[in-house]
Amino acid sequence: MSSRENPSGICKSIPKLISSFVDTFVDYSVSGIFLPQDPSSQNEILQTRFEKPERLVAIGDLHGDLEKSREAFKIAGLIDSSDRWTGGSTMVVQVGDVLDRGGEELKILYFLEKLKREAERAGGKILTMNGNHEIMNIEGDFRYVTKKGLEEFQIWADWYCLGNKMKTLCSGLDKPKDPYEGIPMSFPRMRADCFEGIRARIAALRPDGPIAKRFLTKNQTVAVVGDSVFVHGGLLAEHIEYGLERINEEVRGWINGFKGGRYAPAYCRGGNSVVWLRKFSEEMAHKCDCAALEHALSTIPGVKRMIMGHTIQDAGINGVCNDKAIRIDVGMSKGCADGLPEVLEIRRDSGVRIVTSNPLYKENPYSHVAPDSKTGLGLLVPVPKQVEVKA
């Protein structure tokens, strides 16, 4: 019998190609993006420390708003009108909280993954981080999920399961794992219109879930880039003493389903954890614990500032404690404060500045509110704030 008359024979000879085709088909159906499988290994050590690049851009919480996410990348000159990477060798750190409060969470994950690969080819780099909302969703805490967010994951699950059925037609492939395995068929007191979306979200995001494993295991929880340390909430001296590399590897191991069960390590849970801490991000500067901040920074050689998201800054990106804490969550998502996109830029040759779409600065975008300041960051407009406006 010829191979044309025996389709299963073809599958046996090229199972990886068939599987890759099905996965790409599912990806495009969910996100509108062709995203070939990443050849990198899940066992690669997650890098924690990076040399200072010529240009570093930090982007705050995105919370399910793809349009605002694109705007943030565009005002920083990182993508063109077709969402292609134009940032060259720029390094980008997105400080977490892609999930919750919006209905395009998966589309943002695919968007960021596509840009990561394009940036690598151009000599740049994009780091994505775990925020408290990533941790919550992996744990199955869906308090801040929207109806559209549930619908998006249900659509993903439908396509993913269809892809698995397609793979079962090929005798050369192992039987795919059922993403719903072990998930209850009913939940007490759950609204009927949320049931399928909740099950799909659990299936996708629980430890070892397909979306968690594919995207969130690549996230850092802490990253040191040159003289800046990045974290979603904040770092205390006790976290640094525990070990930054250790935190990254343990969190990734938990997301991969290797250990830890349903709940994240203790340093990711509670008010003083690395993803929940607000000691340095209170909007009122006098409420920030500058002594604890300086103590923490002093234990990381060569680091002089901590950059964080997590707490919305109504006044825009700003610094406290002599700019040793820089807060970059501007609540840009329409599910939060619908704030105007702003990003932080750090250049090796010219220091720190804010790139904003705020029209208040449009008349003289490169001017300083205080003439004697070159790189200061302020909580309120009267305090030094260097900005560039991008419409």
Q: Which of 133, 232, 239, 310 is catalytic?
A: 133
SS3 93: strand
| pLDDT tens string 123-136 | 999 999 999 999 99
Enter the tokens of residue 296: 């923490």
Q: Which helix (H) or strand (E) holds 355?
A: strand 351-356
Cα 320 to Cα 287, 297, 327, distances in angstroms: 10, 14, 8
Q: How confident is the model at residue 376 (pLDDT cuts 50, 70, 90)?
A: very low
What is the pLDDT at residue 45? 85
| pLDDT tens string 343-365 | 999 999 888 999 888 777 655 44
What is the pLDDT at residue 7? 53
What is the pLDDT at residue 259? 83
pLDDT of residue 217 exceeding 90: yes
What is the pLDDT at residue 188? 87
What is the pLDDT at residue 12? 55
CATH architecture entry for 48-140+209-357: 4-Layer Sandwich (3.60)
| pLDDT tens string 60-84 | 999 999 999 999 999 999 999 999 9
Instruction: Read off the pTM.
Output: 0.89
Q: How confident is the model at residue 38 (pLDDT cuts 50, 70, 90)?
A: confident
- 232 has catalytic annotation: no
> In angstroms, rounded to a whole number, what is the distance separating the alpha carbons of residues 258 and 369?
51
Beta strands in 7-108 (DSSP E): 49-50, 55-59, 91-94
| pLDDT tens string 147-180 | 999 999 999 999 999 999 999 988 778 889 999 9
Q: Give the DSSP per-residue string, 119-175.
A: HHHTT-EEEEB--HHHHHHHHT--TT--HHHHHHHHHHHHHHHHHHHHHHT-TTSPP
What is the pLDDT at residue 377? 38
Q: Where are the domains of the chain?
A: 48-140+209-357
Q: Give the DSSP per-residue string, 35-56.
A: -PPP-S-TTSPPP-EEPPPSEE
